[in-house]
Chain A
Amino acid sequence: MKALPLILCVAILSHAGDYDFDLDAIEVKPYTLSGYLKGENKLQGLNDDSPLFHTKNKDSIKTYASEGDVKFAYFQDALKLDSEVMVNYNDIDGAYSDKYTIAQLFMQYKFDQNNLIEVGKKAPNWGKGYFVNPIAFFDRKKDPNDPDASREGYVMANYRYNKSYDGNIRNVSFDLIVMKSNEHMNDEFSQEEQNHVGMKAYFLAYDTDIDLIYYRRSEQSDKVGLDFSKNIQTNIEVHGEFAKTLGEDDYAYLLGFKYLTAFDLTITTEYFYQKNQSSKSEPFYDHQYVMNKFSQKEPFNWLYGAIYYKNIYNLGDKSMQNSLGATYSFKNNMLLDISYNINDGQRGSEYGSKLVQDTLWTKLYWYF
């Protein structure tokens, strides 16, 4: 009988800590600091059909890479300083290299709740597509192997107006971007002496995100773009993008959907078409691709774990890239991502001619 009060005491005490709330943890500071350290290793197999195969030193095909990423923001009244710095140290086949990148560094000034201006290096991140964004006129191209990694921006000034309403149109915002490019500024965007002006109008209308874009360039033809995104059911989202160069037979579009099943499998499918091929050094250079990602959250009740399969298929030459991987988020702010990636296709095709045939890719993140 004495055991019962003891059990009750233990039960109460075991939850006592859970019910406590540390109010110090919610103290508001004038700054935010976050980031991660990442270590990665690639074990690669070579493709002897690749045109680059004979130029490759086969003795060393190991890649180690590490990355440090620090995001810092400081707030004072209407002003905010926002920054992100990345430091990389790589060992690719025994060749060491290091670099640091100021991915973003800009000042924001809020005139009021509706108007603000941002000046400095930033990435606007336009578009709704997961794998590729035809309307991201002011962003760097995404890496299809790591679509979230392209966070480096360009130097620009961005004015924004934002207003909410009642009714079928809930929100309207307007962006004006002004950017200059030459050999010294934004040279990775364009080395030509040129002025760039982008205007974007956003509407949340009838529960649909809609963006309309006009891009004016001083030395080249102007471009227009539009995108949309909508939840057509609680578990199905559809999205699309369209970009066109005015006065030229040049356009590109993307259509996609995201579907969540009752058992937490997320299917992301996108179709991308571009009228004209881009440079072969760029991702998605060919006319048309289909991209699929299947991601199963917490399979077999594996809490904080996920498995995924990704396929990028070039419809023109029928070559493809496959990735099968798993992620696990540990309780100590670490995340492990292990994937097996294999390129497949005929000799001379896009993925069939890649120097690397297959890769076992391990990434370990520690967040702070």
Chain B
Amino acid sequence: MKKTLLFLLTAVVLFGAENILEQVDKKLSPSSADSYKKLINIEPDGSKKEFLLYQIKKDKDKIVSLFLQPDSEKGRSTLRLDENMWLYLPEVGKPIRITSMQSVVGGVFNNSDIMQLDFSAEYDIKSEKDEGAVLVLDLKAKNETVAYDKLLMEVDKKTVTPTKIACYTSTGMLIKTLYYKDIKDFGGGIIRAAVIETDSPLYKGYKSIMVYGKITERKVSDELFTIENIGKVHEFRK
């Protein structure tokens, strides 16, 4: 009883009245920001394929991505507005609706990993457990449109950022595990993991890595996150 009380008190002191998940979101990215990241798919034989992405995010529900590399993917962009998701292919010339479970790049990352909205927008905290240096959050999807039904998130108490996230289906099957590594100062008060590694029992021997190169707080208009502008993301790059 004493232990539980102590933990609750510690949690209140550490994180105040604000939801811990909202604090994690704030640490990972300012509410409006643009970022550059690369994705690397590593196959069992060690061969690799790299993708370079530019992304702009606004609030909890808007994000748009543009592929800058490789050349075969250049100009592709994806837009997510809440649970609506569209893909723009230069060779098609118009946006088409896609689903969050689809994978635009192949490999272990799917669209919802790459186009990750705020965790607090998609998940509720079912329970939290204090395990010394980390808090383990049991997260349940707010609705069925979210890609993973359940997340087990380990949060480093010191940096208030995730160190590991296990993603499960509603039947309890592990789909993938994300490992947050290499804490880096991106400037502007943004200190977070620069690297996210993932593996999956569904892709044995395969591994994918996401490396953040630049994250900058930025104010943009809501009109950027519309299908009118999905093919024009380059015009908004800075």
Contacts and interface: CB of A to CB of B under 8 A. Distances in A.
Interface of A: 15, 18-23, 25-26, 28, 32, 34, 71, 73, 75, 80, 113-114, 123, 125, 128, 130, 148, 151, 160, 162-164, 170-171, 173, 202, 204, 207, 209, 229-231, 233-237, 239, 258, 260, 264, 266, 297-298, 301, 303-304, 329, 331, 333-335, 365, 367-368
Contacts of A162: 223, 226, 228-229
Given A25-B52, A164-B225, A207-B82, A148 B91 contact: yes
Contacts of A75: 234-235
A173 B226 contact: yes
Contacts of B41: 303
A171 B238 CA distance: 25
Contacts of B84: 204, 207, 231
A331 B89 CA distance: 19
A148 B92 contact: yes
Interface of B: 36, 38, 40-43, 47-49, 52, 54, 68-72, 74-75, 81-85, 89-94, 96-103, 106-107, 144-147, 182, 194-195, 203, 206, 209, 211-214, 221-223, 225-229, 234-235, 237-238
B83 A231 contact: yes
22 contacts: A21-B211, A23-B213, A25-B68, A34-B90, A148-B92, A162-B223, A162-B228, A163-B223, A164-B225, A164-B226, A171-B227, A207-B83, A207-B84, A209-B227, A231-B83, A234-B144, A234-B147, A235-B101, A237-B97, A264-B102, A303-B41, A304-B49
Contact of A204 (B81, B194, B206): B81
Contacts, number: 149
A234 B100 contact: yes
A146 to B, nearest CB: 10
B211 A125 contact: no
A23 B91 contact: no
Q: Which 5 pairs show the lowest CB-CB distances between chains A and B?
A: A21-B213, A164-B222, A125-B94, A367-B72, A333-B71
B147 to A, nearest CB: 7
Contacts of A304: 49, 106
Which of B70, B91, B145 is most buried by chain A, counting CB atoms within 10 A of its CB? B91
Given A19-B195, A204-B81, 4 more contacts: A21-B211, A21-B214, A23-B213, A239-B97
B75 A32 contact: yes
Nearest to A147: B92
A25 B95 CA distance: 26
Contacts of A113: 221, 223
B71 A80 contact: no
B168 to A, nearest CB: 14
A114 B101 CA distance: 32
Given A125-B94, A234-B99, A333 B70 contact: yes
A303 B90 contact: no
A170 B222 CA distance: 10
B68 A18 contact: no
Which of B47, B102, B211 is most buried by chain A, counting CB atoms within 10 A of its CB? B102
B104 to A, nearest CB: 11
A331 B47 contact: yes
B71 A367 contact: yes
Which of B38, B72, B103, B145 is most buried by chain A, counting CB atoms within 10 A of its CB? B72
A331 B182 contact: no
A26 B106 contact: no
Nearest to A262: B101
A162 B230 CA distance: 13
Nearest to B47: A331
B223 A303 contact: no
A232 B99 CA distance: 10
B101 A298 contact: no
A138 to B, nearest CB: 13
Contacts of A170: 81
Nearest to A229: B97
Nearest to B41: A303
A26 B214 contact: yes
A204 B99 CA distance: 17
B226 A28 contact: no
Contacts of A28: 237-238
A234 B101 contact: yes
Which of B68, B83, B84, B203 is most buried by chain A, counting CB atoms within 10 A of its CB? B84
Contacts of B214: 21, 23, 26
Contacts of B36: 21, 26
Contacts of A171: 81, 226-228
B228 A173 contact: yes
A25 B72 CA distance: 16
B45 to A, nearest CB: 11
B186 to A, nearest CB: 11
A98 B40 CA distance: 40
A209 B235 CA distance: 24
Given A32-B75, A34-B90, A304-B106, A18 B40 contact: yes
Nearest to B110: A264
Contacts of A19: 182, 194-195, 209, 211
Given A21-B38, A207-B82, A26 B209 contact: no
A18 B101 contact: no
